[in-house]
């Protein structure tokens, strides 16, 4: 992992990095799955920590923020964009995808909702799927729509979890309060006898074990990272964009807020060494779109 500061210029498309963005550290659980699934690829991750959390923002704001994040990652020569944020995906993915396809580069954008919906529908045997997510994501209906488009006969049981992401963000995921919160969230899913549960928030993979214990060993858990990794691999292959580099890829980090805080909390989410983080000023970002 060598830091790379080359922003301008071209380079062979195959050797350009994959760009990943999120409102904060949550998307790092998505990045960590991508690092495993595509170890030769380079990655650049942008956390919009100065404007975290995205959950309270209006759809119009999220469209604008997402466009700005995407433009910054294109400046870093991203060959593909991953929106590792449920709120931004739910509110802004179609607009962002149109915007990117209209640029001369035609960079593809992949969000978190559809890959999970696809994987959950493929996994369920009973047709009863559960969803754990923030209230904003549940209210957006994005997972319901994505699942209905894939298979109209599948039922989604959605449980909004208002406090779970912040308990995890605060590093309190192994406190008794966390178990109690998870226990309550899982109770309606157990009652509905779902056989597959979508972790609809990028923070939840950090408590995967606890969720599996409380839902039972026969329930299949579907998380954004693993589901996305497959789709990113597919998108790169079909477009001839898989790296031809043979060794270990590089990854690096940008954030709009405090660099040290981002690295400290981020390491817990990434579960890999973090290295240097580059600060990107909000004024700069706001001028991009």
Supply the minimum distance, in Å, between the C-beta of residue 197 and a copy of itself. Answer: 14
Angstrom CA distances, 232 to 29, 80, 84, 199, 239, stand at: 15, 8, 12, 19, 11
Residues that bind a copy of itself (CB under 8 A): 1, 32, 35-39, 174-176, 178-179, 183, 209-210, 212-214, 216-217, 248, 267, 270-275
Q: How far apart are CA 22 and CA 28, in angstroms?
A: 8
Instruction: Look up tokens 């549940």; give the residue.
Output: 138
Q: Is 255 a catalytic residue?
A: no
C-beta separation of 30 from 206 below 8 A: no
Supply the minimum distance, in Å, between the C-beta of residue 126 and a copy of itself. Answer: 20
Q: Which of 161, 186, 201, 255 is catalytic?
A: 201
Its sign, for the CA torsion 29, 30, 35, 36, is positive
Supply the minimum distance, in Å, between the C-beta of residue 53 and a copy of itself. Answer: 25
Supply the minimum distance, in Å, between the C-beta of residue 8 and a copy of itself. Answer: 28
Q: 95 vs 272, which CB is nearer to a copy of itself?
A: 272
Q: 162 vs 216, which CB is nearer to a copy of itself?
A: 216
Q: 182 vs 285, which CB is nearer to a copy of itself?
A: 182
| CA nearest to 32, candidates 46, 43, 47 | 43
C-beta separation of 155 from 236 below 8 A: no
Q: Which of 85, 161, 186, 255 is catalytic?
A: 85
Q: Is 186 a catalytic residue?
A: no
Q: How far apart are CA 52 and CA 28, in angstroms?
A: 14
Q: 67 vs 174, which CB is nearer to a copy of itself?
A: 174
Beta strands at 196-199 and 220-223: parallel, antiparallel or unpaired: parallel
Among all residues, which ones are annotated catalytic? 85, 201
């Amino acid at each position: 992992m060598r830091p790379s500061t080359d922003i301008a210029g071209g380079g062979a498309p195959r050797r350009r990095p994959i760009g990943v963005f999120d409102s904060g550290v949550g998307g790092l659980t998505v990045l960590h799955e991508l690092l495993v699934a595509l170890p030769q690829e380079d990655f650049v991750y942008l956390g919009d920590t100065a404007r975290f959390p995205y959950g309270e923002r209006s759809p119009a704001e999220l469209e604008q923020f997402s466009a700005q994040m995407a433009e910054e990652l294109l400046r870093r020569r991203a060959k593909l964009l991953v929106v590792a944020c449920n709120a931004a995906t739910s509110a802004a993915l179609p607009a962002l995808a149109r915007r990117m396809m209209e640029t001369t580069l035609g960079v593809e954008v992949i969000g978190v909702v559809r890959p999970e919906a696809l994987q959950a529908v493929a996994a369920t045997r009973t047709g009863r799927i559960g969803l754990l997510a923030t209230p904003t994501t549940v209210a957006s209906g994005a997972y319901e729509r994505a699942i209905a488009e894939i298979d109209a006969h599948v039922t989604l049981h959605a449980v909004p979890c208002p406090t779970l992401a912040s308990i995890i963000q605060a590093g309190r995921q192994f406190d008794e309060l966390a178990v109690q919160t998870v226990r309550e969230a899982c109770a309606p899913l157990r009652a509905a006898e779902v056989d597959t549960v979508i972790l609809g928030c990028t923070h939840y993979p950090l408590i995967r074990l606890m969720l599996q214990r409380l839902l039972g060993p026969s329930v299949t858990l579907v998380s954004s990272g693993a589901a996305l990794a497959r789709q990113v691999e597919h998108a790169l292959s079909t477009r001839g964009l898989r790296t031809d580099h043979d060794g270990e890829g590089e990854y690096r980090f940008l954030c709009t807020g405090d660099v040290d805080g981002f690295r400290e909390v981020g390491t817990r989410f990434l579960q890999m060494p973090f290295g240097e983080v580059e600060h990107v000023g909000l004024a700069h970002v706001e001028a991009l779109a």
